[in-house]
Amino acid sequence: MARNVIYIASTEELAGKSTIAIALALLARSLGHKVGYFKPIGLESSLSERREALDEDVKTVSTILNLKGEASLVSPLTLKKNDFLEDLGKHDLSEYASKIAVAYRRASESKDTMLIEGGSNLSVGSVLGCSVPKLAADFGARILLIARFKNDFVVDEILQAQEYCSRWGVPLLGVILNRFPQNTLERANHVIRPLLEKNGVRVLGVIAEDSALSALTVKDLHQVIGGRVLGGKDGMDKTFQTVLVGAMTPESAMKYFRETKDELVITGGDRTDIIFAALEAGIAALILTGNLYPNVKILPRADDLTVPIILVPYDTYTTLQLIQRIVGRIKSSDRKRINRAKALVKEHVDWKTILTGSSA
């Protein structure tokens, strides 16, 4: 069994757990550690060649770390995104906890450091008796909380997480304040950090939102959401960092388009006014929802400006949800972003305390 077991958890989705796990794993290896990775309960985001449910984060981390063995050892249980209770009910629920425990013992054999990744929040798995604090107690792990800033309620969420963990007698190693907008960094360090530490929560790092990590190419996006590329195909390698929904007047839209760089605009194919405004403002790409084809005059202009226009069958809300799931996620083949994640953690996180107990 590993000597150092870190359970990387969060209070919500898209906090950056997988990215932090990758960076810590690579830094641990630089110290000569034998590193293992484990995600007890994954969430289906794609299907394997055998039509088996896969958690893309698990697949990515496993590939980057070159983990050998069956995928079921790294993530023994993968749930559907929604409506998974019927599937769980086909078996005795106690069998799942046993299956997770057996897989963890095998995955952690001969490892110095084990990094365990939690689900979208601390309570995921509670129906199976496998919440994050419960499993952390079973595995002798310390919990490293990753918190993303949306508003000041992040402090309440972190303190509630601390209280939840303490009920299980599991130590909260600390929190990394991750993906904080640049304009909130001063408040993160001089308001939020002191308040958390006053309440007994150790802040182990503050990482700003980084464009090198969050930017995606239009081609990457198209591979995930599908759809038909109607025009601007020569611009598929463009990157975008911001997603805007074009549901305003053309005048208001132009203001937003000009104030924001490298944006992706989502709108309906019937919003000819918004589409032309977006093209002339020099956006990165357009996603047209609801299978509504645009005016034929638009496509030649998109080709001239090399602005991809992708037609999808989903409504605006569904399209936005699909895009948000992949923004900030690293692919195993993207060495530049992997190295950037490692550099950010090395520079802004007290990583040696996390991995060895000694201050960096």
- pLDDT number for residue 348: 96
One domain for residues 291 and 234: yes
With beta carbons less than 8 A apart as the criterion, state whether 356 and 251 touch: no
- pLDDT number for residue 121: 93
Quick: pLDDT tens for 20-68: 999 999 999 999 999 999 999 998 865 444 445 578 888 888 888 888 7
- pLDDT number for residue 25: 95
Torsion angle in degrees (nearest 10) through CA of 76, 80, 85, 89: -40
One domain for residues 123 and 269: no
The first and second tokens of residue 179, run together, are 């993906």
One domain for residues 120 and 163: yes
- pLDDT number for residue 321: 81
- pLDDT number for residue 122: 95
One domain for residues 97 and 242: no
Domain with 291, as residue range(s), is 216-326
One domain for residues 172 and 249: no
One domain for residues 164 and 271: no
Helix (H, G, I), strand (E, B) or coil at 249: coil
- pLDDT number for residue 47: 43
One domain for residues 57 and 128: yes
With beta carbons less than 8 A apart as the criterion, state whether 283 and 243 touch: no
- pLDDT number for residue 282: 86
**Crossing angle, helix 154-167 and helix 132-139, to 10 degrees?**
50
Beta strands in the chain (DSSP E): 4-10, 35-38, 41-43, 46-47, 53-54, 77-79, 113-117, 142-148, 172-180, 203-208, 216-217, 228-231, 239-240, 242-245, 263-268, 285-289, 309-311
- Residue 302 parent element (H or E): helix 298-305
One domain for residues 204 and 239: no
One domain for residues 120 and 34: yes
d(CA 161, CA 173): 12
The first and second tokens of residue 305, run together, are 């400006």
One domain for residues 305 and 345: no
- Indicate the number of domains in the chain: 2
**Which parts of the chain have pLDDT scores under 70?**
1, 45-53, 250, 253, 258-261, 327-328, 358-360
CATH code of 263's domain: 3.40.1390.20
One domain for residues 317 and 341: no
CATH code of 148's domain: 3.40.50.300
- pLDDT number for residue 89: 73
One domain for residues 338 and 321: no
